[in-house]
Every structure is written in C-alpha cells, then in structure tokens.
C-alpha cells in the first residue's frame, strides 16, 4: 500500500482534537457531565432490575472476555476456511501482526498519555457495585481506566478487518466491539470517555501509520519469510 499522507494527517488531527477536547478543559469540560450521567443511569439500573444486574455481572466476568477472543477468532476463521493453504497461512500471519500492533500501541499509549484516573465506581461515593450486590466474580473497578485497553484492542481488530478483509468484515467487527467493550462502561469499570475518547483517539493517531503505510504489509512479508511453512508451500506449487 502507498502511504496516504493526507488521510493519515486528517485522522491524526481528529484524534488529537478528540483527546484535547477532553484533556484540556477543567474537569474535562462537557465530557464529565456526560460520563457521570451514563454511569449513574446504568448504576441505578443495577438495583432496579435483577435481570439487568445479572446481565452486567455475566458480561464482565473473565469468561465473557474469552468470548470476545472467540468472536474475533470465528470472524477470521470464516475467511480462513475459504482459502487454500497459502491463504490460510497469510490469515494466521495477519492475526500475528494484529497482536503485535495491539501490544505495541497499548504499551505506547500507557507510556505516553499523561493521564491516570480511577474508574467511576472508585471515584463516586454512595454508588452500587456488582461485587457487593452479588457473590459472583466480576470486574467492576479499575485504578487506572484511561484509555480503555479492551476497547483499544477491539478497535485495532476492527481496523485490521477493514484493511485486509473489507467493509462487511469491518461491520461485523464493530458489532463485536460494541458488544464486548461497552459492558465495562455499564458496570462502572470504565468511564464512557475511556473508550469514546481514550481508545478512539489512540486508534485515530496510531493505526493510520500502521495500516495506511507499507508498515503492516512489510511486517506480514517479514513473518511470511521467516515463519515455518513457506518452503513447503513453494514445493507444492
């Protein structure tokens, strides 16, 4: 892929503008009332509806996190099954490239973003916590919730699907993103802006340089060159 500098610049500007609209104003400007309203809406629902309480608890259990990996894997598997051996190997390599980007971007975001804030369940007093309402293992708090790493990983996955598998795959990946990222907001382990500002701004700044330049293709080519299986494919041709 050729480097698409104008679009990269535009997306970077959007990412920085989004982050600064939250970071610069006192008490995060208009974002904080929105964050608080969303948190209290879901938090009050925990004691008003027992079924909703269990839904929130179940979707924030570690097993549900594993379901997000299964959902991503199933989407990639749907493409893998249609390919020959060379295409299947390439899809595996794309998956490895995605994991590499996810680890690198997450670590850089944690290192470079000058923000450390606790989740709303630790920030507000007199609120309801799922861990206190139910005897069920769940994650309902975080001492450092910004940016949302779970949401960031799912956005990276969605972007990879768009780049290499097309818009239909991207649409399904976005559904996976919503289903598996926003339960953290519902339970109060993340603020809404941890994802809508934190995860999204990081994605807008970092991912264009990975996917709108030759970088991802070169990493895939590097994996293809050194990972086992290439020689066998050449013999089969």
Say if pTM beats, i.e. exceeds, 0.75: yes
* Residues 6 or more apart in contact with residue 165 via CB below 8 angstroms: 79
Counted domains in the chain = 1
pLDDT tens, position by position, 1-59: 677 889 999 999 999 999 999 999 988 899 999 999 999 999 999 998 899 999 999 99
6 Cα distance to chain centroid? 25
**Residues spanned by the domain of 116:** 5-236
Q: Report whether 53 contacts 130 (CB < 8 A).
A: yes
pLDDT tens, position by position, 140-170: 888 888 888 888 999 999 999 999 999 999 9
Q: Percentages helix, strand, coil for the chain, rounded to the nearest 5?
A: 75, 0, 25
Backbone angles phi, psi at 189, to 5 degrees: -80, -20
Task: Provide the residue count of the chain.
Answer: 237
């Amino acid at each position: 892929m050729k480097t698409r500098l104008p679009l990269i610049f535009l997306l970077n500007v959007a990412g920085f503008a989004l982050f600064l609209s939250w970071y610069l104003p006192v008490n995060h400007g208009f974002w904080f009332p929105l964050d608080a309203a969303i948190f209290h809406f879901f938090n009050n629902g925990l004691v008003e509806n027992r079924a909703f309480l269990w839904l929130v608890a179940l979707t924030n259990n570690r097993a549900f996190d594993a379901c997000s990996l299964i959902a991503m894997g199933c989407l990639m598997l749907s493409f893998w099954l249609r390919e020959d051996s060379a295409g299947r190997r390439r899809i595996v390599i794309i998956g490895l490239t995605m994991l590499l980007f996810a680890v690198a971007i997450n670590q850089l975001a944690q290192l470079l973003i000058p923000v450390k804030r606790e989740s709303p369940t630790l920030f507000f007093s007199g609120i309801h916590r799922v861990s206190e309402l139910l005897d069920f293992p769940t994650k309902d708090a975080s001492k450092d919730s910004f940016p949302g790493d779970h949401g960031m990983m799912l956005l990276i996955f969605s972007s990879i699907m768009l780049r290499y598998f097309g818009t239909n795959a991207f649409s399904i990946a976005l559904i996976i993103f919503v289903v598996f990222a926003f339960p953290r907001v519902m339970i109060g382990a993340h603020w809404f802006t941890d994802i809508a500002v934190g995860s999204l701004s990081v994605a807008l700044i970092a991912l264009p340089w990975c996917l709108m330049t030759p970088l991802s293709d070169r990493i895939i080519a590097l994996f293809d060159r050194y990972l086992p299986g290439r020689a066998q494919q050449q013999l089969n041709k």
